[in-house]
Amino acid sequence: MGKHVLVIEDEPNIIEAISFILSRDGWTVHTHSNGHDAVDTVLARRPDLVILDVMLPGRSGYEILTDLRGRDETANLPVLMLTARGQTKDREMAERLGASRFMTKPFSNAEVLEALRELVPA
């Protein structure tokens, strides 16, 4: 059975790039592009991993991560946070809230694949 990832990101170019490289690597990719109902989408899709942008319309990735970590069914779900702002305080905030990994944009295809393979071993 394949691995499922939910990409919660609002930039079409990033969605397209991540979807392409992950699909090519054998992942089933679903996408969502707003923060309003992102948690509901995670609960409905039940992915093996979430790639979560920090800045989203409606709610921030930090708020969504906090909600996910507060629920039994998603408390241990691997979450890779993405942000255009790679400042130390952003990384510390993500770690404090329970992000599994943190990556700044722009990122390389190899970086994304390596992170996902570590978070969800085959």
pLDDT tens sequence across 62-71: 999 999 999 9
Fold adopted by 11-85+94-107:
Rossmann fold (3.40.50)
> Which pLDDT score, from 0 to 100, does residue 53 have?
96
**pLDDT tens-digit map of 37-90:** 999 999 999 999 999 999 999 999 999 999 999 999 999 999 999 988 778 898
Of 16, 73, 76, the residue nearest 40 (C-alpha):
73
Neighbours of 18 (CB within 10 A): 24
| Distance from the Cα of residue 6 to its chain's centroid | 7
**E strands, the chain, in order:** 3-8, 27-32, 49-53, 79-83, 101-104
Domain residue ranges of the chain, discontinuous segments joined by +:
11-85+94-107
**How deeply is 56 buried, as exposed, middle or buried, from its count of CB atoms within 10 A (0-12, 13-18, 19+)?**
buried
pTM of the model: 0.95
